[in-house]
Structure 1
Amino acid sequence: MSHGPTPSDVAAVYLQQGPYAQGHDPHGHGHAEARGHGAGGPAPKRVIVGYGFWIFLLSDIVMFSGFFAAYAVLAHATAGGPTGRELFDLKRVGIETACLLASSFTCGLGYVAALQRKQLQTQFWMFVTGLLGLVFVILEVLEFYEMIVKGAGPGRSAFLSAFFALVGCHGLHVTIGGLWLATMMAQIWVKGFKPQIMRRLLCFNLFWHALDIIWVALFTIVYLLGAGA
């Protein structure tokens, strides 16, 4: 008749796996709750990847904070040149803002469709997201071109240098995001909704939404306050 594990059996298991081995019960009662990794064991890879990407986004936000600080210091250093009130077209910037905010909404719809494994809906919403982002970039490039033609390029004053650096850096991020989006569309079309593809899509969504948050701050501080100065 078996009387359960002996003390020597328990000691042998402790030496092999340790008292905190996932799913191990040293008293021989089956699988116990994992210890040392939270109540449910190690976090899923999706959570780990998302957390790591948030750390990257925070480093990016720190960089933008430096650009914002430089702009705040140099906003009135026009050196006799044009000011934001003379240069900024709030109607066009409003269209840019509407496009970028709408793209954040469609980006979310695309991710929801991907979670439901709906290929065509995912591709459609991602395409709309990329199209809205493209309109945003085109309007921004047109704004830069018109300012440079008027003699208000980045070398005209410290204010314009800070403006072009801040807004241009954000526009560059949107452009890179658009290229990333096109890559994700191709990967989903060819490889489907594999776990690694879904994790990449999650990171893209975090990146795109972060750009929207930064643009809201940029629109308020640079354009609204600048046009009313």
Structure 2
Amino acid sequence: METTATHHADMHRDDDASKIGMWLFIFTEILLFGGLFIVYSVYRFRNPVAFHIAHQELSITMGLINTIILLISSATVAISISAIQKKDRKMSMMMLGMTLLFALIFLVNKYFEWGAKFEHGMYPGSDLMTMLSHGDMLFFSLYFFMTGLHAVHIIVGMVLLSVSLFKVRNGAIHSTRFVLLENSGLYWHLVDLIWIFLFPLFYLIH
């Protein structure tokens, strides 16, 4: 009996440590993107006309669709966590699957958005980029870097959610032990939050 209690106490400490570790990681990610947002704001302040003209080359519709997709995916991952807490493994798996599907759709949309730019010769290091004004080049350099970095985070999030889905399926994640799923959900909410800032900065603010 004492051994069982000790085991549960150790598991609780491990879960707490895992949560603290995830929150610390999220904090570093916020610092990273926060710094990039500051850089963007400074350059935009110094090149208001160029940034205004350059942002018109982006598709607000594509950006809005991706925003809606990520907002819905935040809801589905939250439902998945709630479902596993209620011992509804099937619902949890279904919501995780939907979250992964939405993530894939986001990346496909981003592929077509970037692809259109690439077809016109607009990509980092291209001849067209070097011919742009200083302000335009800054805008598109930040656009490709920041949205590309965000896409990498989407892929990492998909890996975490896929692992969580596998563990829910085989019973390793259940109603009393779901910290991996919870941490994956936290990470996914961070990814969504970052996009909530990226979307208006690049697509909406004139």
TM-score normalized by the length of structure 2: 0.80
Identity fraction in percent? 25
In the alignment, which of 163, 172, 189 is matched to residue 183 of structure 1? 163
Greater Cα radius of gyration, structure 1 or 2: 1
User: How do residues 39-188 of structure 1 correspond to structure 2 at under 5 angstroms?
Assistant: 44-45=12-13, 46-75=15-44, 76=47, 83-85=54-56, 87-155=57-125, 156=129, 157-188=137-168
Q: How far apart, in 1, do the equivalents of 2:21 and 2:82 lie?
A: 22
Summarize deviations over 1:159-209 as a string: whole Å, max 9, x none: 211111111111110111112211111122123435895111111011011
Q: How far apart, in 1, do the equivalents of 2:188 and 2:93 lie?
A: 16
Structure 1 residue 144, shift from structure 2 partner: 1.0
In 1, are the aligned partners of 2:87 and 2:175 still within 8 Å (CA)?
Answer: no
- Structure 1 stretches (4+) deviating beyond 2 angstroms? 44-49, 69-80, 191-197
Structure 1 residue 118, shift from structure 2 partner: 1.5
Q: How far apart, in 2, do the equivalents of 1:66 and 1:197 lie?
A: 35
In the alignment, which of 165, 171, 185 is matched to residue 205 of structure 1? 185
Structure 1 residue 117, shift from structure 2 partner: 1.8
Q: How far apart, in 1, do the equivalents of 2:115 and 2:177 lie?
A: 38
Total equivalences in the alignment: 184
AA aligned to 2:74 is: S
AA aligned to 1:134 is: L
Q: Which has the higher helix share?
A: 2
Of structures 1 and 2, the one with the larger relative CO (CA 8 A, separation 6+) is 2
Structure 1: gaps of 5 or more residues: 1-40
Q: CA RMSD in A?
A: 2.6
In 2, are the aligned partners of 1:103 and 1:133 still within 8 Å (CA)?
Answer: yes
Structure 1 residue 139, shift from structure 2 partner: 0.6
